[in-house]
Chain A
Amino acid sequence: MIKVKFRNLPTQLSLLLLALLLTFSTTTYAQEESAEAATEVAPATGEGDAAAGKTLFNANCAACHKLYKKGVGPALFGVGDKYDKEWLYSWIRNSQELIKSGDAKAIAIYEEYNQSVMTAFPALSDEDIDNIIAYTYTPKPEPTVATTGTTNVGGDGEGPTNNIILAALALIFLLLVVMLILVNKTLRRIAEANGVEYEEGEKRLPIWKAFAQNQFLVFVTSVFLLLASAYFAYGWMMQVGIDQGYAPVQPIHYSHKIHAGANQIDCNYCHSSARKSKHSGIPSLNVCMNCHKNIAEYNGEEDLENGYTKEFYTNEIKKLYKAVGWDENNQAYTGEEEPVKWVRIHNLPDFAYFNHSQHVTVAGIECQKCHGPVEEMEIMYQFSPLTMGWCINCHRETNVDLKGNEYYQKIHEELSKKYGVDQLTIAQMGGLECGKCHY
Chain B
Amino acid sequence: MNNISDTNMASNKKYWKSVEELNENSSIVETLKQNEFVEEIPTDDFLGDKDTLEASSTTRRDFLKYVGFTTAAASLAACEGPVIKSIPYVVAPDEIVPGVANYYATSMGDGFDFANVLVKTREGRPIKIERNDMAGNSEVNARVQASVLSLYDKNRLMAPKVAGEEVSWEDFDAGCIATMSQMTGKDVVLLTQTFASPTTAKLIQEFTTQYPNVRQVIYDTVSSSEAADAFQTKYGSRGLADYDFSKADVIVSVGADILGDWQGGGYSAGYIENRVPKNGKMSRHIQFEANMTLSGANADKRVPVKPSLHKQVLMALTGGSMSGLPDNVAEAVRSAKAELDSAGAKGVIVTGLQDVAAQSAVLNYNESKGSMAMDTDKPRLTSMGNTAEVTAVMNGVISGSIKGLITVGVDPVYSFPNAAFADAYKNLEMSLAFAMKEDATASLAKMVAATPHYLESWGDIQTKKGSFGLAQPTIRPLFNTRQFQECLLKWTENEKSYYEYLRENWETNILAGESWNKAVQDGVFEGDVELEMLETTPAANVMETGTSEGALLPNSQEGSMELTLYTKTSIGDGQQANNPWLQEMPDPISRAAWDNYLTVSAADATSLGLENFNVANGALNGSYANVTMGDVTIENIPVIIQPGQAVGSVGLALGYGKSAAIQSEMQTGVNAYALYNNFNSVQNVSVSKAGGIHEFACVQLQNTMMGRDIIRETTLEIFNTRDAEEWNAIPMVSKDHLEIPVTSPDADLWDSFDRSIGHHFNLSIDLNACTGCGACVIACNAENNVPVVGKDEIRKSRSMHWLRIDRYYSSQESFAVDFDKKENISGLGSSLSEFAELEQASENPQVAFQPVMCQHCNHAPCETVCPVAATSHGRQGQNHMAYNRCVGTRYCANNCPYKVRRFNWFLYAENDEFDYHMNNDLGRMVLNPDVVVRSRGVMEKCSMCIQMTQKTILDAKRDGRSIKDGEFKTACSSACNTGAIVFGDVNDHESEIYKKKHDDRMYHLLEAVGTKPNVVYQAQVRNTKEA
User: Measuring CB to CB, which residues of chain A are less than 8 angstroms from any residue of chain B?
Assistant: 240-241, 243, 248, 273, 276-279, 281-287, 323-325, 337-344, 347, 349-351, 353, 355, 357-358, 361-362, 404-411, 414-415, 418, 429-430, 433-436, 438-439
Give A408's nearest chain B residue, CB to CB: B957
- B932's partner among A287, A325, A439 (CB-CB below 8 A) is A439
- B757's partner among A243, A342, A414 (CB-CB below 8 A) is A414
A282 touches B86 (CB 8 A): yes
A439 touches B947 (CB 8 A): yes
A407 touches B957 (CB 8 A): yes
- A276's partner among B100, B884, B933, B960 (CB-CB below 8 A) is B100
Interface residues in B940-986 by Cβ distance below 8 A to A read: 943, 946-947, 950, 953-954, 956-963
Which residues does chain A contribute within 8 Å of B957, judged by CB atoms?
A: 358, 362, 405, 407-408
A433 touches B884 (CB 8 A): no
Which residues does chain B contribute within 8 Å of A429, judged by CB atoms?
A: 758
With the chains together, A122 CA to B963 CA distance in Å? Answer: 55
Which residues does chain B contribute within 8 Å of A349, judged by CB atoms?
A: 884
| Extra A-B contacts (9), CB below 8 Å, given A342-B88, A439-B947 | A323-B90, A324-B90, A325-B90, A337-B90, A339-B90, A406-B961, A407-B962, A434-B870, A439-B946
Which residues does chain A contribute within 8 Å of B880, judged by CB atoms?
A: 433-435, 438-439
- B98's partner among A277, A323, A439 (CB-CB below 8 A) is A277
With the chains together, A415 CA to B756 CA distance in Å? Answer: 10
User: A243, A284, A287, A408: which has the most chain B beta carbons within 10 Å?
Assistant: A284
A411 touches B758 (CB 8 A): yes
Which residues does chain B contribute within 8 Å of A248, judged by CB atoms?
A: 83
Q: Does B92 contact A (CB under 8 A)?
A: yes
Which residues does chain A contribute within 8 Å of B97, judged by CB atoms?
A: 273, 276-277, 281
Which residues does chain A contribute within 8 Å of B731, judged by CB atoms?
A: none
Nearest-Cβ distance from residue A247 to partner chain B, whole angstroms:
13
Nearest-Cβ distance from residue B941 to partner chain A, whole angstroms:
11
With the chains together, A198 CA to B200 CA distance in Å? Answer: 120
List 11 interface pairs A-B (beta carbons < 8 Å), by A numbering: A323-B90, A344-B85, A347-B84, A351-B884, A362-B958, A407-B957, A407-B962, A429-B758, A430-B875, A434-B872, A439-B946
Nearest-Cβ distance from residue A76 to partner chain B, whole angstroms:
30
Q: Does B3 contact A (CB under 8 A)?
A: yes
With the chains together, A284 CA to B2 CA distance in Å? Answer: 9
Which residues does chain B contribute within 8 Å of A414, judged by CB atoms?
A: 756-758
Nearest-Cβ distance from residue B780 to partner chain A, whole angstroms:
14
B960 touches A341 (CB 8 A): no
A343 touches B92 (CB 8 A): no
With the chains together, A285 CA to B92 CA distance in Å? Answer: 8
Give A289's nearest chain B residue, CB to CB: B91
Q: Does B99 contact A (CB under 8 A)?
A: yes
- A430's partner among B91, B758, B931 (CB-CB below 8 A) is B758
With the chains together, A434 CA to B756 CA distance in Å? Answer: 20
With the chains together, A353 CA to B929 CA distance in Å? Answer: 10
Q: Does B79 contact A (CB under 8 A)?
A: yes
- B90's partner among A243, A281, A285, A344 (CB-CB below 8 A) is A285
Which residues does chain B contribute within 8 Å of A337, judged by CB atoms?
A: 90-91
Which residues does chain A contribute within 8 Å of B882, judged by CB atoms?
A: 351, 434-435, 438
Nearest-Cβ distance from residue A327 to partner chain B, whole angstroms:
15
Give A342's nearest chain B residue, CB to CB: B86
Nearest-Cβ distance from residue A73 to partner chain B, whole angstroms:
24
- B3's partner among A279, A323, A405, A435 (CB-CB below 8 A) is A279
Which residues does chain A contribute within 8 Å of B962, judged by CB atoms?
A: 406-407, 409-410
A350 with B932, Cβ < 8 A, contacts A362-B958, A418-B754 known: yes
With the chains together, A324 CA to B362 CA distance in Å? Answer: 68
A282 with B3, Cβ < 8 A, contacts A358-B957, A407-B962 known: yes
User: A241, A340, A343, A407: which has the most chain B beta carbons within 10 Å?
Assistant: A407
A357 touches B932 (CB 8 A): no
Nearest-Cβ distance from residue A14 to partner chain B, whole angstroms:
17
Q: Does B881 contact A (CB under 8 A)?
A: yes
Nearest-Cβ distance from residue B293 to partner chain A, whole angstroms:
37
Give B98's nearest chain A residue, CB to CB: A279
B98 touches A351 (CB 8 A): no
Which residues does chain B contribute within 8 Å of A408, judged by CB atoms?
A: 957
Nearest-Cβ distance from residue B860 to partner chain A, whole angstroms:
13
User: Does more than half of chain B's interface fall in helix, strand or loop, or is it mixed?
Assistant: loop
With the chains together, A344 CA to B5 CA distance in Å? Answer: 8
Q: Does B723 contact A (CB under 8 A)?
A: no
User: Measuring CB to CB, which residues of chain B are less than 8 angstroms from any residue of chain A?
Assistant: 2-3, 5, 79, 81, 83-92, 97-100, 754, 756-758, 870, 872, 874-876, 878, 880-885, 930-933, 943, 946-947, 950, 953-954, 956-963
Nearest-Cβ distance from residue B959 to partner chain A, whole angstroms:
8
- B943's partner among A287, A338, A439 (CB-CB below 8 A) is A439
A339 touches B92 (CB 8 A): no
A438 with B960, Cβ < 8 A, contacts A282-B2, A414-B757, A430-B874 known: no
With the chains together, A357 CA to B933 CA distance in Å? Answer: 23
Which residues does chain A contribute within 8 Å of B931, judged by CB atoms?
A: 439
A435 touches B874 (CB 8 A): yes
A407 touches B963 (CB 8 A): yes
Give B100's nearest chain A residue, CB to CB: A277
B88 touches A283 (CB 8 A): yes
A284 with B875, Cβ < 8 A, contacts A341-B87, A407-B962 known: no
With the chains together, A353 CA to B960 CA distance in Å? Answer: 22
- B83's partner among A287, A339, A343 (CB-CB below 8 A) is A343
With the chains together, A265 CA to B92 CA distance in Å? Answer: 20
Which residues does chain B contribute within 8 Å of A278, judged by CB atoms?
A: 99, 930
Nearest-Cβ distance from residue B863 to partner chain A, whole angstroms:
11
A435 touches B946 (CB 8 A): yes
A430 touches B99 (CB 8 A): no
Give A356's nearest chain B residue, CB to CB: B99
Which residues does chain B contribute within 8 Å of A438, judged by CB atoms?
A: 880-885, 932
Which residues does chain B contribute within 8 Å of A434, judged by CB atoms?
A: 870, 872, 874, 880-882, 885
With the chains together, A325 CA to B90 CA distance in Å? Answer: 9
Which residues does chain A contribute within 8 Å of B98, judged by CB atoms?
A: 273, 277, 279, 281
B88 touches A281 (CB 8 A): yes
Nearest-Cβ distance from residue A56 to partner chain B, whole angstroms:
35
A355 touches B954 (CB 8 A): yes
Nearest-Cβ distance from residue B948 to partner chain A, whole angstroms:
10
With the chains together, A277 CA to B954 CA distance in Å? Answer: 10
- B960's partner among A338, A357, A358, A404 (CB-CB below 8 A) is A404
A241 touches B79 (CB 8 A): yes
With the chains together, A99 CA to B875 CA distance in Å? Answer: 72
Which residues does chain B contribute within 8 Å of A411, judged by CB atoms?
A: 757-758
B100 touches A339 (CB 8 A): no
With the chains together, A282 CA to B754 CA distance in Å? Answer: 42
A358 touches B85 (CB 8 A): no
A430 touches B876 (CB 8 A): yes
Which residues does chain A contribute within 8 Å of B5, judged by CB atoms?
A: 344, 347
B85 touches A343 (CB 8 A): yes
Which residues does chain A contribute within 8 Å of B100, judged by CB atoms?
A: 273, 276-277
User: B90, B958, B960: which has the most chain A beta carbons within 10 Å?
Assistant: B90
Which residues does chain A contribute within 8 Å of B81, judged by CB atoms?
A: 241, 243, 347
Which residues does chain A contribute within 8 Å of B88, judged by CB atoms?
A: 281-285, 339-340, 342
- B956's partner among A240, A338, A407 (CB-CB below 8 A) is A407
Nearest-Cβ distance from residue B249 to partner chain A, whole angstroms:
44
Which residues does chain A contribute within 8 Å of B754, judged by CB atoms?
A: 418
Which residues does chain B contribute within 8 Å of A350, judged by CB atoms?
A: 932-933
Which residues does chain B contribute within 8 Å of A284, judged by CB atoms?
A: 2, 88-92
Give A414's nearest chain B residue, CB to CB: B757
A433 with B83, Cβ < 8 A, contacts A285-B90, A286-B91, A357-B954 known: no
B90 touches A358 (CB 8 A): no
Which residues does chain A contribute within 8 Å of B83, judged by CB atoms?
A: 248, 343
With the chains together, A277 CA to B955 CA distance in Å? Answer: 10
Which residues does chain A contribute within 8 Å of B86, judged by CB atoms?
A: 282, 341-344
A358 touches B930 (CB 8 A): no
Nearest-Cβ distance from residue A33 to partner chain B, whole angstroms:
35
Nearest-Cβ distance from residue B211 to partner chain A, whole angstroms:
40
A357 touches B958 (CB 8 A): yes
